[in-house]
Amino acid sequence: MRASWDIFCSVIDNFGDIGVTWRLARQLVAEHDQAVRLWVDDLETFCRLCPQANPLEARQVHAGVTVQRWLQHASHPHQPVDAADVVIEAFACQLPEDYIDAMARRARPSLWLNLEYLSAEDWVDGCHGLPSLQPRGLQKYFFFPGFTPQTGGLLREANLIEERRRFQQDPAARQLFLNRLGIRPHKNSRLVSLFAYENKSLSSWLNTLAADNKATHLLVPPGRIIANLQEWLGVKQLSEGDQYQRGALNVQLLPFLSQQDYDRLLWSCDFNVVRGEDSFVRAQWAGKPFLWHIYPQQNNAHIEKLDAFLRLYCQGLSPATSTALQAHWHAWNSGQNMAQSEQALEKTWPELEAHSEAWCTKLSAQINISTALVQFFRKWI
């Protein structure tokens, strides 16, 4: 059954929210033949992910998705439109009042879904899919992504894992991709990507890599960590293509990458440092060891969420490797010195590599979000 979908996205933290909703919108169109309209309040940021888009064009179509400018300011009220069959309020953004009126006026009211932030906490399983009564006789359902069969799963394109494995088994394809980005690592150097928030731990981690007896080529896309990196390097401004050598560490600044190219960067690296939600999930599909910089919250509330994921992720690891991994993640997310945890983690590398692929295989056996959403709608009708 083909249905109309409206996805509302308020761009809060650079590319995280729009990254997730843009992937979801494309997947609903490409894999489920749904009619999708993506409402975005920051077309400038959207254009970074979709370079062919025009930030001045209020309505445009890309990859089969209608992308619509969402004006939220009081001086620019929401333009009246017919409400869709399914309405997704991404990450607790607030729908316009006149749009909610349109949802209620339909002969069959719209299915209203609140797509929540990703969490591995235990309570998510019990809250996924629960309704909440709203004014005008509407109900809103809470839809939780997650890591267990009791949740809505994770965003994953239908052939993603097979495509990734083919790429990683083809050295020529990897080399061609790296060459296109101007990446030419020295023979036997470890390739590492870095995409993170501001972090006090960065200098100690980089010092450890620079002093190592093994060469590391660090690849850094644009992001909030750049200011810390400039401070460590002692330079005022870093630009795309810049490279700096410090001991065994070679640092290279990358251009802004499309989502497809960022996936291939993760697939190409031996280790990936990621942040937030979108890159966090994509690192898991890469089947490589990774380090997650969770979004910092007041009173260290994020550490509880970090530990909830680690409890799941560390299942099946030996005690020594589990301890080393958790210490490394905690040091990075607490602004601590990384020297000891980095050295301990390197000793566990073969087990970590095998575990990363096994974890990906386990997750990929579960439903993906787009399929779960379509099934939820069909059961609701």
Residue 278: active-site member: no
What gap in Å lies between CA 261 and CA 222, rounded to an integer? 14
Q: Confirm if 322 and 307 have CB atoms less than 8 A apart.
A: no
What gap in Å lies between CA 268 and CA 286, rounded to an integer? 9
What gap in Å lies between CA 349 and CA 344, rounded to an integer? 10
Per 3-state DSSP, the chain is made up of helix, strand and coil in percentages (nearest 5) of 45, 20, 40
How many other CB atoms sit within 10 Å of the CB of residue 173? 15
Q: Could you identify the residue written with the tokens 């109309």? A: 4
Pick the CATH number of 160-364 from 3.40.50.2000, 3.40.50.450, 3.40.50.1970, 1.10.1660.10: 3.40.50.2000
Q: From the candidates 85, 89, 263, 277, which is the catalytic residue? A: 277
Q: Confirm if 221 and 242 have CB atoms less than 8 A apart.
A: no
The residues, ordered by sequence, that sit 6+ positions from 33 with a Cβ below 8 Å of its Cβ are: 2
Q: Confirm if 329 and 310 have CB atoms less than 8 A apart.
A: yes
Q: Could you identify the residue written with the tokens 């309505």? A: 59
What gap in Å lies between CA 88 and CA 261, rounded to an integer? 27
Domain ranges of the chain: 4-154+366-380, 160-364
Q: From the candidates 17, 41, 85, 351, which is the catalytic residue? A: 17
**For position 15, what pLDDT does the model report?**
75
Per-residue pLDDT of the chain (381 residues; tens, 9 = 90+): 899 999 999 987 667 789 999 999 999 999 999 999 999 999 999 998 999 999 999 999 999 999 999 987 544 445 668 999 999 999 989 999 999 999 999 999 999 999 999 999 999 999 999 999 998 889 999 999 999 999 999 999 999 999 999 999 999 999 999 999 999 998 899 999 999 999 999 999 999 999 999 999 999 999 999 999 999 999 999 999 999 999 999 999 999 999 999 999 999 999 999 998 999 999 999 999 999 999 888 777 889 999 999 999 999 999 999 999 999 999 999 999 999 999 999 999 999 999 999 999 999 999 999 999 999 999 998
CA angle 23, 265, 269 (to 5 degrees): 135
